[in-house]
A and B are shown apart, each in its own frame.
Chain A
Amino acid sequence: MIKFLLMVNKQGQIRLSKYYEHIDLAKRASLEVDVIKGCLSRKKEECSFVEYKDYKLVYRQYASLFVMVGVSENENELAVYELVHNFVEVLDKYFSRVIMFNLEKVHVILDEMILNGHIVETNKSRILAPLLVLDKMAES
């Protein structure tokens, strides 16, 4: 099960965070700091999986953006790795330019893909369909 998903920039500022398991606000902050420090300090030759407490972290870097996913022990890390890539591709397809200014739309996309820590849908067109409908509704 996916426990949380974070998107951070190179300086370590959080651009998006989504938790699928409830964690107190105070603990959340320290968790984020630890995870970000752990992933950002990795060099290029190191592999994308890090062990942190009882989570496994899978991270990927896209230009200046890091996507980090914390999963439980029994998950297949390679599958999560692919999932991250899928997610970024979907974002890419929808947002033609910089994404971070439309945070609630990103949340909508994320909710379409992952629900309660499990994958719901991985087909890009099906994920984006409701969003496009929403946009049309908003415009009219």
Chain B
Amino acid sequence: MSPSVRLQEMIRVIRSARTQCEERGVIQRECAAIRAQFRQADNVGRSHNLAKLLYVHMLGYPAHFGQMECVRLIASPRYSEKRVGYLGAMMLLDEKQDASLLITNSIKNDLSHSNQYVQSLALCTLACMGSAEMCRDLAPEIDRLLRTSNSYIKKKAALCAVHIVRKVPELGELFTTAAHSLLSEKNHGVLHGAVVLITELCEQNPESLAQFRKVVPELVHIMKGLVMSGYSPEHNVAGISDPFLQVRILRLLRILGRNNDTASDAMNDLLAQVATNTDSSKTAGSAVLYETVLTIMDIKSESGLRVLAVNILGRFLLNNDRNIRYISMMSLQKIVQTDHNAVQRHRGTIVDCLKDPDASVKRRALELSLALVSAVNIRSMMKELLLFLSSCPPELRAQAASGIFSAAERYAPSQRWHIDTILHVLTTAGADVRDETVPNLIQLITTANELHSYTVHKLYRALVADISQQSLVQVACWCVGEYGDLLLRAECDDTEPVQVTEDDVLDALETVLQSHMSSPATRGFALTATMKLSTRITHNVDRIRSIVSIYGSCIDLELQQRAVEYNALFKKYDHMRYHARRGSKNCPVSSDDAPQSTPAQPHSLDACPTSSSSPEGDLLDLLGGLDLMPGEGCGGDLSSVFSVLLWCPCTVCDSSAQCGLWAYVCFLPCVPLAPSLTVYEKNGVTLRLQCDRQMDTGVSITLSASNSTDGDITQFNLQAAVPKCVQLQMKAPSGDVLPARAAGQLTQAILLKNPNKVGLRMRVRVSYCSQGTNYQDTVQIDSFPSVAWQ
């Protein structure tokens, strides 16, 4: 390729390259040739070479070796070379490069050149990449140029001044007077430049802002001239005279009128005039109207004007042009907080825009609709939103779902409607909802007592239909487990009753367990629900047992653990299962696992945390610092005990395995195996014995003492003795003061190990101090409740 081939040829060659590789080869050859050319200081082809280099640079290839060439070309006297040189400077150089300093002098000279085109080149380059020092150097020159009579130069100088002000804000004062005088120009280009300069000055400096407020009448006058003038061939765009200038002036008015009453008053008439007179059938007119609306909304305008603005936006919404619809929705969104009622009037149109094929318009419509939901229109809006959810693009689903949830929560007219809505969302977009939805929904269902059977029927049906939406399946499993008896009774009055057999329910749960679509958490829910059902149903307990035992060897640690513990429950504590299940009525919800409330093994609540005989003792240790309310003993309320243990471990256990553990702590301190036995009653002191728990080789009992006299009893102490083949372990007493009038109790737990299974006998010595007198008594306990040594 000959070295002085022109730019067009090179472009043609590059474009005809068929592969990236070929193109790179061509470009590399060209660059090498250009580099050689530069070194030769050849006069003729220099500008062409630089032009070629710039094209190559535009395509993304490195071209830094052309920087010095730019500098040289700028200094050349020929216009064409200067032109290419300056263009190169704008594209290749920026203030971080050293070469940019070298052109400062050339720019300075060219700014005072006799030819206006050369001057304009210099101005253009300075405006594009002038560094702070260059700006400081050349600012006076620019100021002088702003006052020349040449409008061609003036308009460019004005924009160059904008750049200078941005780079070096202190120089702003230099240009204020010039800016003022420029406003009286006739040339639209200069006017435009002046308005931009004033805008920049006001944004940079609040004092200038105050100063320029005086200019408002002048601006108003110019605008009126533009709006009311007839057809002006020079600046006409689709019937509007110079819409670009109008838009600019309106923006400046907005900045000047913000937070300022006098300035805003001066503009009110003008804005009303522009709003009514501008023809909005073409985009140009709409652009002006849009800017007017933005200005009205931002300054302190009167309410009539604001209503006018919102109406304009409403009109835009009905426009055929999609761009205009989008614009109006963006603006409505900005003002929906402040002018809520005005926007409500256009709610119907906004909701229609949910069906627009454009994704940006849909997104805006969704945000606006969610903002417009109120207690009055919640039902109709929700219908539309749910319809939207089923057909919306995937990237909007999560936003739509969470928006629907929060709206439903705030304005739900009834609980049933709320539950219905959430179920609907879960069926359509279950994969995109957030994780907190499941526990929230479960809590909602627990509080809605009358709707339990309705909910469980609905959820069962959803479960049978589709098990791919994880959140839905989790909630459904929990519900089926919890309210399975309602489901089996089939006595729902709201929906048609369907005869559901136990087998059906178990089938459904088994499907969930075995499906590969179910996540481990879902499987956990299903397994627990199966377990819970073992108390609700009567015929298929064996089936449940077999299901549970299968999972005893599951790979997933969580499931395996649960299954093993459930198995243990089946084996050892069959009679307890009923009680264990029954106690889950009012459990508050925790955020990391379903409120399983599933007991693993019964355990004495009164035991000190350091009980080493059973694994659950370690659990209580894990729970750490649990205040076990010593006064409660066997009269305590089951549900409150549940709530204590359910709530506190959330901070202690962070891995899900551990959470599984704590969820299994069941404590049934107060379902006694046998009624309590009063063993000693004297001087107002009553001592009762109660068997708490039986294990294979022993029993744990609790001795509780209470005081019915009028005075406190202090130094209360118990000592016990048992036959030789029985081992005795006494835990620490809960205290040694018995408050008067049975205000409280003292308890002490005793662990008896009876490996030979002899009859249990015990001698207890009681000593205490009552009203100043010390007492000591011995009691022989021969008749333990017979269950103790089975």
User: A interface vs B, CB < 8 Å?
Assistant: 14, 16-17, 20, 22, 25, 28-29, 32, 43, 45-51, 76-79, 81-83, 86, 100-104, 107-108, 111, 115-116, 118-123, 126, 130, 133-134, 137-138
Contacts and interface: CB of A to CB of B under 8 A. Distances in A.
Contacts of A119: 192, 244, 248
A123 B324 contact: no
Given A14-B58, A76-B287, 14 more contacts: A17-B58, A43-B357, A45-B357, A48-B322, A49-B323, A76-B251, A81-B287, A82-B243, A115-B160, A118-B159, A120-B156, A122-B237, A123-B188, A134-B83
Query: Nearest 10 CB-CB pairs, A to B?
Result: A78-B287, A116-B127, A47-B322, A46-B358, A101-B8, A115-B159, A45-B357, A47-B326, A79-B287, A121-B189
Residue from A32, A79, A100 whose CB has the most chain B CB atoms within 10 Å: A79
A134 B242 CA distance: 27
Contacts of A28: 60
A100 B15 CA distance: 11
Contacts of A48: 322-323
Contact of A108 (B83, B155, B247, B326): B83
A90 to B, nearest CB: 12
Given A103-B51, A123-B235, A78 B283 contact: yes
Contact of B235 (A17, A29, A82, A122): A122
Nearest to B94: A22
Given A111-B124, A120-B189, A121-B155, A79 B323 contact: no
A25 B361 CA distance: 33
B7 interface: yes
Interface in B338-362: 357-361
Nearest to A86: B237
B159 A120 contact: yes
B290 interface: yes
Contact of A47 (B124, B196, B358): B358
A101 B11 contact: yes
B322 A101 contact: no
A116 B247 contact: no
A83 B162 contact: no
Given A76-B290, A78-B323, A79-B291, A46 B94 contact: no
Contacts of B87: 104, 107
Nearest to B248: A119
Contacts of B58: 14, 16-17
A8 B265 CA distance: 47
A83 B326 CA distance: 19
Contacts of A20: 128
Contacts of A120: 155-156, 159, 189, 192-193
B70 to A, nearest CB: 14
B271 to A, nearest CB: 15
Nearest to A89: B237
Nearest to B161: A116
Given A104-B87, A115-B124, A138 B80 contact: yes
A51 B360 contact: yes
28 contacts: A14-B59, A28-B60, A32-B60, A45-B322, A45-B358, A47-B361, A49-B323, A49-B360, A76-B247, A76-B290, A79-B247, A79-B291, A81-B287, A81-B323, A82-B237, A82-B283, A86-B237, A102-B8, A103-B55, A104-B54, A108-B83, A116-B128, A116-B159, A118-B159, A120-B155, A120-B193, A130-B117, A130-B120
B768 to A, nearest CB: 79
A126 B325 CA distance: 34
Residue from A32, A111, A133 whose CB has the most chain B CB atoms within 10 Å: A111
B326 A49 contact: yes
Contacts of A86: 237
Contacts of A115: 123-124, 127, 156, 159-160
B62 interface: yes
B129 interface: yes
A78 B358 contact: no
A104 B360 contact: no
Given A115-B127, A118-B159, A103 B11 contact: yes
Interface string B283-323: 11011001100100000000000000000000000000011
A46 B294 CA distance: 24
B117 A46 contact: no
B562 interface: no
Contact of A100 (B11, B60, B290, B294): B11
B84 interface: yes
Nearest to B55: A103
